[in-house]
Amino acid sequence: MTDSKMNGAESLVHTLLANGVDVCFTNPGTSEMHFVAALDHIPGMRSILALQEGVATGAADGYFRMAGKPASTLLHLGPGLANGLSNLHNAKKAGSGVVNIIGEHASTHIALDAPLTSDIEGIARPVSHWVHSSKSVATVGEDAARAVQAAMTAPGQIASLILPSDTAWNEGGVPQGAVEMPAPAPFDESALDRAAEALDGSETLLLLGGTALTEANLEVAGRIAAKTGCKLLSEWSNARMERGAGRVFIGRVPYPIDIALKVLEPFKRIVLIGARAPIGFFAYPDKPAILTREGADILTLAAADADLTAALAALSTATGADDTAPAHVVTDALPERPTGRINLDSLAALIARAIPEDGIVVDESVTSGRAFSPATKSARKHTWLNNCGGSIGYGMPAAIGAAVACPDRKVLCLTGDGSAMYTVQSLWTMAREKLDITVLIFANRSYQILRGELTNVGVQNPGPRAIDMLSLDRPALDWVQMSRSMGVSAVSVTDCEDLEAALEEGLTQSGPSLIEIVL
């Protein structure tokens, strides 16, 4: 199909749609106006406005995790991209595919160094696997198809397509139809026998990540564990993990370094499928950065870009586990109903009780959430998303993306107050799109995790000025007013009974709500 009357922006939208990209998270500007105009006469692209680009890119991350295909973002020049950069960092670390469309000045305008001129490729490169600037209107369609292919490269990649505005407004666009998407890399078959031999008894570990954590793949892992006696763990941060009643449970390598060292100490042999050998989140003076025991034999059967399903199936066969019943299958067992003033344990129990069947939990609970993972082990079956890049402000945007990807499922977003403030504009988009998201704000009124980190890095007895830089209590944020100001209904609770009622209401009503939990 060619159409000499079609402009570049139109060829771009047609090509994205033909390749399954039908959601766009955006905050557009002048240089993106032809893309925006194209939305009116080309049906099929759901365009979702964000009031800051960190919301848009974080939403694209959450969308990919749940939809298994990329959304597009439409960003205004270098600064618009820059605002979305840290959540692209998170998306990159999560292996999420994203197609960024970044408007640029007309090619004749760039040399004039206008106020908004910047080195867009330079800004994009540190967070992108693929960066390309369209050279002419005729290639925009082709460039867009290549961007989707890049984004669909396993496990998922960040593709950044820079679109000079003249390539968008000129006529002569050539849209592309559906192109072939790349297959994942093969796993390392040469390592299969050694991997099968390695897993034998409780001193051996099968460490999983990425799509090894689907319901079906976890079941295979459970068979291998039952057969070989190996332990199962996932990485600390997982882009998406299927959990809950009826599924194979898998723990996570802990975040606190001393506990992680202890958990990993027993393992003399470790097989990796879609995971990397555990290292510390940070370096600390006088503590190791490699968390596995010295001399541990670590074998990568399948890296993150490989076919993890095939790797697990092959390992199951090689260990003779195909007909074994899986270990660690979780039975439905909700924690008892807590009462009284909320503490971290009762909070975890209430969340476990509240997670609805097929719920999606977006977890940016940081310090407040250390107990959530074990407590929710036997909840109704659900999907759990972690922040994989460590840059705070991922939670509410990712919840938006998950809700857009799965309109029939309820989303529970667990976030610390410090994290939530980073992309607080998310609430407005939730209200505008009437997304089924219940946001829980854990208001400990501090960057609590940093209190511990001060000690970890060797600072004993921090003084008032240091503590002041980690405190959010002067003034205290009023999350109820904050949320309502952006159109999301909200309550503040301190007691278990009130939280239970608010969760019940939030998860049954249509549209977003917010619950502030004062800790």
Please give the DSSP secondary-structure letter assigned to residue 512: -
Output the smallest distance, CB 333 to its own copies, in A. 32
- Angle (CA) 76-37-22 rounded to 5° is 80
Output the smallest distance, CB 461 to its own copies, in A. 9
Residue 252, helix vs strand vs coil: strand
Beta carbon nearer to its own copies, 324 or 456: 456
Calpha distance 76→68 (Å, rounded): 26
Beta carbon nearer to its own copies, 372 or 428: 428
Calpha distance 362→337 (Å, rounded): 23
Strands of 46-49's sheet in order across: 46-49, 23-27, 72-76, 98-104, 158-164, 130-133
Calpha distance 92→94 (Å, rounded): 5
Output the smallest distance, CB 278 to its own copies, in A. 10
| 118 phi, psi to nearest 5 deg | -155, 175
Output the smallest distance, CB 460 to its own copies, in A. 9
Output the smallest distance, CB 160 to its own copies, in A. 13
Output the smallest distance, CB 248 to its own copies, in A. 25
Output the smallest distance, CB 37 to its own copies, in A. 4
Cβ neighbours of 180 (radius 10 Å): 8
Beta carbon nearer to its own copies, 349 or 488: 488
Output the smallest distance, CB 349 to its own copies, in A. 29
Output the smallest distance, CB 395 to its own copies, in A. 14
Calpha distance 519→258 (Å, rounded): 26
Beta carbon nearer to its own copies, 237 or 438: 237
Beta carbon nearer to its own copies, 217 or 386: 386
Output the smallest distance, CB 407 to its own copies, in A. 19
Residue 448, helix vs strand vs coil: helix
Beta carbon nearer to its own copies, 164 or 338: 164
Calpha distance 446→444 (Å, rounded): 6
Closest among 75, 69, 66 to 19, alpha carbons compared? 69
Output the smallest distance, CB 387 to its own copies, in A. 8
Output the smallest distance, CB 91 to its own copies, in A. 12
Beta carbon nearer to its own copies, 41 or 408: 41
Calpha distance 383→243 (Å, rounded): 6
Beta carbon nearer to its own copies, 277 or 330: 277
Closest among 156, 163, 165, 164 to 128, alpha carbons compared? 156
On the question of a cis peptide bond just before residue 155, with omega within 30 degrees of 0, the verdict is yes
Beta carbon nearer to its own copies, 109 or 268: 109
> Are 393 and 342 a contacting pair, CB within 8 Å?
no
Beta carbon nearer to its own copies, 316 or 425: 425
Please give the DSSP secondary-structure letter assigned to residue 335: P
**Residue linked to tokens 């704000």:** 441
Helix, strand, coil shares of the chain, percent, nearest 5, are 40, 20, 40
Beta carbon nearer to its own copies, 28 or 395: 28
Cβ neighbourhood burial of 293 (10 Å; 0-12, 13-18, 19+): middle
Calpha distance 216→401 (Å, rounded): 24
Inter-CA distances, 421 with 354, 366, 434, 472, Å: 25, 14, 21, 11
Distant-in-sequence, close-in-space partners of 485: CB < 8 Å, separation ≥ 6: none
Beta carbon nearer to its own copies, 244 or 401: 401
Amino acid at 278: P
